[in-house]
Chain A
Amino acid sequence: MSLFDWFANRRKSGSLSKERQEREIADGLWSKCPACGVLTYTKDLRTNQMVCPDCGHHLRIFADQRVQQLIDPGTWRPLDEDLCPVDPLKFRDRKAYQDRLRETQDKTGLRDAVQTGLGQLDRLPLGLGVMDFRFMGGSMGSVVGEKLTRLIERATRERLPVVIVCASGGARMQEGMLSLMQMAKISAALERHREAGLLYVPVLTHPTTGGVTASFAMLGDIIVAEPKATIGFAGRRVVEQTLREKLPDDFQTSEYLLTHGFVDTIVPRTQLKQTLAQLIRLHQPYPPSPAQASQFVHVPDHLPESLSVNSVRAD
């Protein structure tokens, strides 16, 4: 029985009892789509890359899942995992930044809001950076700036294309102007990568705003977005306050940016890997060098099963 038949049957047979539903959601066996409310067996949802099979809503996923979805098994080599944030301003709002960092690190098991590394995507070597919204809203401070800059510099040296999956509220206020300057630092590294004639593709996911939009998110040779992601410079509420009027529903969505010419293509998550592979292949030199040509003919019989990424957390 296909998933769709299953859904059709389920609708006919009526919904599960409320009590049972809640218990099974709590167990993580079932997941409820925040957009359409339909329950999906979590395993099926994961097979579908956390895209609701009913309405196509892209649920939020985290960096390790994204790496797993994009990188060929066994090829991921994380970089600079040991970079840790510090508290240069001794910043304190309602809570001390240092405490906030420690709590977030304990809760997420992450050191900061980006994972970077080298790996292969459909047998194509590349540098990949993935921002993680769990970690203080994916905000960009010194560590995010440094890790992405090192990734881009490494990719420039090794002549690799770079893909960065963006998900961020913008610059991290708790590191003050150091955060703002990371925008310039990353852009500088991208300038050298570009100068070297290499391809850079940012993937904009929900949400991509503020200082990330005003730097590396918008600097792609080709810009890809996930469907219905919020993408903008100023937050929607800020714009509403500036103008004191209601904004159109599709304002600052992927679709809005596509219409206005600021993203090249909207790609559903389930097709992201193959689209990125296609884009990278289209930018390889022609005629292909013998080494690259072999990529087209040599297909290994068995792909390695093991993954070096962290196991996926059930959310």
Chain B
Amino acid sequence: MTLSDRKPILLDFEKPLVELDSRIAQIRELAEENDVDVSDQIQQLEARATQLRQEIFSSLTPSQRLQVARHPRRPSTLDYIQAISDEWIELHGDRSTGIDDLALVGGIARLDGRPVVMLGHQKGRDTKDNVRRNFGMASPGGYRKAMRLMNHANRFSMPIITFIDTPGAYAGVEAERLGQGEAIAYNLREMFRLEVPILCTVIGEGGSGGALGIGVGDRLMMFEHSVYTVASPEACAAILWKDASKAPQAAEALKITAADLKALGILDQILPEPIGGAHADPLKAAETLKQALLENLAELTRLSRSQLKELRYQKFRSIGMFTQLSA
């Protein structure tokens, strides 16, 4: 997963950083040509660059965070699975629709010695791959494959680890014909029936019902710059503002960041990202993820099957805000 040899993809708010970096390089070059020692100045400038990077990434607006969450180099489900598991075998197909959906992948892995089922939305690594994987937008076959694998995990007492990273469930004629609504609905209900620990992590974009379709668990975690939305800010802007260009306002209003969702009681844990986002240091992000998964798994493993189900029920039962006049 070394990405350093590839040309970086820059987001607009990273521009001051790039300018600073190129200035450092310039000075270094000049100093070498003229044989002058500028290591002090360079050290100072580099410290400044690190500080600036930290400042920028700690104060991202929701729509900037959305850009980080959608970054083409952001580590994907398969990247994380390969980085955190001792071994892994991918399994295919839902045994009913007749197509293996590559936008939702899954299989059996060994995590710190323990067999687990891992599954998640899979975006493509480049344009060609993205076409094959439908940009991580799963079809009913994907959700049914996920359910098949989760039932498998339940049968063999393996914990379930899901990775959420999708703009949303696929909105196409074929997806509707095959029952997109039914496929997601079925998962929502059945995930409450399962008697093994379920850990869900939003690694990038959590797009609405398409995310929730593999998102019912005992713990919900999000990477720091991930987002989770009821509707994409673009769609929300088009519907409520009647103007798609108001997406940044919608992103702000919808409360989609990890910190916002923690405050609303929806999220259990925020996973810190390396400075510059998970794509700046994927292995470090994977290490954070692995530690969090192992810690949560250790806690959940102590619970009985019925306790696990009861607590999962209560966790979702308590979500919602309203007033009761007589109370």
Nearest Cβ in chain A — how far from B215, in angstroms? 8
Q: Kindly state whether residue B25 has any CB partner on chain A within 8 Å.
A: no
Contact B323 A86 (CB under 8 A): yes
Contacting B324 at CB < 8 Å: which of A82, A91, A179? A82
Contact B172 A243 (CB under 8 A): yes
Contact B192 A191 (CB under 8 A): yes
Question: Interface digits, B152-193 against A, CB 8 Å rule (1 contact, 0 not)?
Answer: 000000000000000001111101111111101110111011
Contacting A234 at CB < 8 Å: which of B171, B189, B326? B171
Contact A219 B186 (CB under 8 A): yes
Q: Kindly state whether residue A7 has any CB partner on chain B within 8 Å.
A: no
Q: Kindly state whether residue A31 has any CB partner on chain B within 8 Å.
A: no
Question: Which one of B2-10, B34-42, B227-235, B285-293 is at the A interface?
Answer: B227-235
Contact A173 B231 (CB under 8 A): yes
**Residues on B with beta carbons closer than 8 Å to the beta carbon of A183:** 185, 188, 209, 212
Query: Knowing A181-B320, A183-B212, A194-B189 touch, does A176 contact B256 (C-beta < 8 A)?
Result: yes
Question: Interface digits, A85-104 against B, CB 8 Å rule (1 contact, 0 not)?
Answer: 11011011110000000000
Contacting A84 at CB < 8 Å: which of B190, B236, B240, B324? B324
> For the side of the interface on B, what is the size category?
35 or more
Contact B192 A188 (CB under 8 A): yes
Q: Kindly state whether residue B88 has any CB partner on chain A within 8 Å.
A: no
CB proximity to B under 8 Å, residues A177-204: 177-185, 187-192, 194-195
**Residues on A with beta carbons closer than 8 Å to the beta carbon of B256:** 176-177
Cα distance A215–B193 when bound, in Å?
15
Cα distance A268–B235 when bound, in Å?
34
Cα distance A241–B189 when bound, in Å?
30
6 closest Cβ contacts across the A-B interface? A234-B171, A213-B181, A142-B320, A187-B188, A82-B325, A93-B240
Residues of B within 8 A of A (CB): 169-173, 175-182, 184-186, 188-190, 192-193, 208-209, 212-213, 215-216, 228-231, 235-236, 239-242, 249-250, 253-256, 261, 264, 266, 312-313, 316-317, 319-327
